[in-house]
């Protein structure tokens, strides 16, 4: 792992937003990523106003499978009229990471910054319970405390070995940082299109965030798992 990425990970797990550019050969997008263990209303506001894309929560497939939540395309495939939609792929070719969309039961409307901060922080608690071995408690909490459909999409990372999207890249930062793989992220958009990389770098510099290339995360993760 390079020294520079060590610093990225150290700041990321303490709550500093990290801007990840996946690849010019994939989506060619930059996402603002925040460790979900440090999420709050202010960070949601920052992500929403500086990003503009879809605000998501992500954890690993291990967590979603443990609480009994399938991928969204698996659910849609059970409905005859929706099944053909699940057989299509966008330009980068991956299966989507989406599972279900939820609100925490104590949210007001679900979409407000404080509501999404609440929902994401509680989803982080569910993930934490799974990784601490409390599968029964995690599933019970998910069933009792969440409502669907809601305003926070729950994504499940398939692992960098299988998929190299922002879901997997951001979760890899958490894993290498020794914390629960649990993140919130949002795409950075410009007028009509994704925000160009140079503009994303400017946003990072002006706001004290960190910009990192997805390829650097992939290379560091390869070294980390082989160490």
* pLDDT for 163: 81
Q: How many CA atoms lie within 13 A of 218 on its CB side?
A: 14
> What are the structure tokens assigned to 202, written together?
């400017």
Residues with active-site annotation? 31, 56, 92, 103, 151, 187
Q: Is the pLDDT of residue 2 over 50?
A: no
pLDDT one-digit tens code per residue, 126-155: 999 999 999 999 999 999 999 999 999 999
pLDDT mean across residues, the chain: 94
Q: How many helices (H) and strands (E) does the chain have?
A: 10, 7
Residues 27-54 have a mean pLDDT of 96
Per DSSP, helices labelled H in 177-213 are 197-207
Bridge-based pairing state of the strands 182-187 and 30-35:
antiparallel
pLDDT tier for residue 227 given thresholds of 50, 70 and 90: confident
pLDDT tier for residue 22 given thresholds of 50, 70 and 90: confident
Share of the chain above pLDDT 70, in %: 99
pTM: 0.94
Q: Could you identify the residue written with the tokens 């999207």?
A: 165
- φ, ψ of residue 45 to 5 degrees: the values are -60, -45
pLDDT one-digit tens code per residue, 181-217: 999 999 999 999 999 999 999 999 999 999 999 999 9
> What are the structure tokens assigned to 197, written together?
């990389």
Residues 113-119 have a mean pLDDT of 98
Per DSSP, helices labelled H in the chain are 3-13, 41-50, 61-66, 72-76, 83-86, 113-131, 135-145, 166-176, 197-207, 214-226
For each of the domains in the chain, give its residue range(s) and CATH number, in order of start.
Answer: 3-226 (3.90.870.10)
Q: Is the pLDDT of residue 158 over 80?
A: yes
């Amino acid at each position: 792992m390079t020294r520079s990425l060590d610093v990225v990970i150290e700041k990321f797990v303490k709550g500093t937003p990290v801007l990840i550019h996946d690849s010019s050969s994939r989506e060619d997008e930059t996402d603002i990523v925040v460790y979900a263990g440090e999420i709050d209303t202010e960070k949601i506001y920052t992500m929403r106003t500086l990003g503009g894309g879809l605000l998501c929560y992500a954890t690993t497939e291990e967590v979603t499978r443990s609480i009994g939540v399938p991928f969204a395309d698996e659910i849609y495939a059970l409905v005859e009229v929706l099944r053909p939609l699940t057989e299509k792929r966008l330009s980068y070719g991956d299966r989507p990471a989406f599972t279900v969309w939820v609100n925490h039961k104590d949210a007001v409307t679900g979409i407000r910054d404080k509501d999404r901060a609440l929902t994401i922080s509680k989803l982080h608690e569910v993930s934490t319970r799974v990784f601490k071995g409390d599968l029964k408690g995690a599933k019970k909490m998910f069933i009792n405390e969440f409502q669907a459909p809601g305003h926070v999409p729950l994504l499940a990372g398939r692992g960098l070995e299988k998929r190299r999207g922002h879901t997997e890249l951001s979760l890899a930062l958490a894993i290498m940082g020794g914390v629960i793989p649990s993140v919130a992220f949002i795409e950075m958009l410009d007028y009509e299109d994704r925000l160009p990389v140079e503009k994303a770098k400017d946003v990072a510099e002006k706001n004290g965030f960190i910009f990192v290339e997805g390829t650097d995360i992939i290379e560091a993760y390869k070294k980390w798992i082989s160490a």
